[in-house]
A and B are shown apart, each in its own frame.
Chain A
Amino acid sequence: MQPALAPIPAAEERLSAALAARRGTRSSRTILLILPALLFLGLFFAYPMIDIVMRSLSGAGGFSLAHYGRLVAHPIYFRVFQITFEIALTVTIVTLLFGYPLAYVLVHCGRLAAGAIWACILLSLFTNILVRTYAWMILLAPDGVINQLLGAVGLGHQKLLFNRFAVLVGMTYALLPYMVLTLYSVMRGIDGTLLQAARNLGAGGGRAFWHVFLPLSLPGVVGGSLLVFILAVGYFITPRLLGGAGDQMIAMVIEEQVELGMDWGFASALAILLLLLTLAGFLLYSRFVGLKSLFESKL
């Protein structure tokens, strides 16, 4: 049984304490509740990250830049970075070409159509990335669905799997939802009356789009492109399963070095470079779109 009718002074005391806590004037013990999470991430995330930095900078006799030197000395690693950028850039452009019209339709269509489009986007986004990649292995196989269709229209059998084309298709598929989500969040905020005003002043639909809507949607274009590019640069599963010998990306080299127990210091140096690239990308992203929308789109 709770003392429902507490003496009034006690209630007043509790009230003032509660209000003080709310204003943050009293340093509350509640703050301690964050410690478990911080300790956990310190031990299992921050410390291992520092460990990677240390490994990348250590050689036989203590401090050394040998691992980074190896990156510069061997043109094969330069080639890996080049391939990674080529793939990431192509995927960014293709997702933009398909994502922009889709986001545009999503903002302007009726509720029913929007619901159907959202269902497709979310279904693909939340399907296991391995499953999505495996699906493309089936579709692009030598005797797969797409080759059967090509054969039916007389285009013969094409080699569609284990090459750059397959990597681009698989990664475009995986990253398209991120592009659409970012574009949508910006397009949704564009004031429709501005377009109406342009049309009332005599602009046709196309002119209103090019001179009003497109410029206003540019933050979304920049943000979506940066996000897709950053995510693509760190990709591993899709290029590893769909690519051929010439599609070796940075993350694949890192995984290979660690998995096969070859050179953990060198893998660490590669990881640090990949991390710096990614952080630079997110810095630009936060300038253009803000990081808050990022964490929403990641869900």
Chain B
Amino acid sequence: MRAGAEVATGAAWRRLALNALTAFTLLFLLAPIVVVILLSFSSGRYLQFPPPGFSLQWYERFFNDPQWMTSLWLSLRVSGMCTLFSLVLGVLASIVLVRERFPAKTAAYVLILAPLIVPGIIIAIAVFFLFARLDMIGSPIAMALGQTVLTLPLVVVIVSATLQGFDQRLEQAAIILGASPLRAFFHVTLPIISPGVISGALFAFLSSFDELLVALLLASPTTMTLPVRIWTSVTMQIDPTITAVSSLLIAFAVAVLSTAGILRRGRG
């Protein structure tokens, strides 16, 4: 009986220690994000914590600064192009990878997924050497093409997973009933796999919008994406405007994640 009680207290202590450790780890994960968001609404003139009061001054400064706005628009353009490129190439490639058997299929897989494994800095200098040779440093299209190397595999992974769950007989039925393969694809297959395609597009856009290394090496003084602008501000001085930009980027990531989560639930 006594031994049993001791075992029980031992287990209780273990549970308490485990819960305390979990709480600490969760605090560690959340604290930086919460602090940045709180500071972005600070009325203080520098980064004092806790903030002396509420204000939208840093958001106003962000949206009224022509340099930040130029970077925002450039980022939206680059990420838009990048999403378009990776979506078109990725959806087409996924169809073949999921449905067809052909020689060198493994090699095709390796080529398409390899950018996920190669360290980001290596892809960045590889793309930089190419566009330096083509004299395209500072070109938004070059940035979009370079980032597509990173986002194309994401789209292929996400869209392939959706295509695998697609009942191909639906498409065959449409073809038997007289639809051309193209028509069957656009009217039957695409609507059914659209949650996967939209998720792929969202993650491609988010990764490109957040991407620093390729954009940093391909940037020129007049073409700096949002992350490149943050990078140069952070390395120069600690400007509280960055807390506002950061909070907007966090909100954007949360929006993308929740949308993708809702799409996934809808599918299941």
Contacts and interface: CB of A to CB of B under 8 A. Distances in A.
B154 A299 contact: yes
Contacts of A122: 257
B92 A36 contact: yes
Contacts of B152: 37, 40-41
B157 interface: yes
Contacts of A255: 121, 124-125, 213, 217
Contacts, number: 260
Contacts of A24: 100-101
Nearest to B260: A299
B35 to A, nearest CB: 6
Contacts of A282: 117
B116 A124 contact: no
A189 to B, nearest CB: 19
Interface string B99-113: 111100000100111
Interface residues of B, number: 94
Nearest to B127: A48
Majority DSSP secondary structure for residues of A touching B: helix
Most chain B C-beta atoms within 10 Å of own C-beta, residue among A14, A241, A294:
A14
A287 interface: no
A131 interface: yes
Given A11-B176, A295-B157, A138 B121 contact: no
Interface residues of A, number: 92
Interface string A26-60: 01101101101110111011111101100100000
B98 to A, nearest CB: 11
A105 B26 CA distance: 12
B120 A236 contact: yes
A218 to B, nearest CB: 20
Nearest to A5: B178
Contacts of A102: 21-22, 25-26
Given A34-B92, A102-B25, A134-B36, A2 B126 contact: no
A24 B158 CA distance: 24
Interface stretch (B54-62, B64-72, B246-254): B246-254
- Among all A-B residue pairs, the 6 with the closest Cβ atoms: A234-B119, A135-B32, A48-B126, A37-B93, A34-B96, A131-B246
Given A44-B149, A299-B157, 8 more contacts: A14-B175, A22-B168, A30-B96, A34-B93, A49-B122, A101-B21, A130-B230, A131-B246
9 contacts: A19-B172, A123-B253, A124-B30, A134-B36, A138-B35, A148-B49, A236-B120, A241-B235, A299-B154
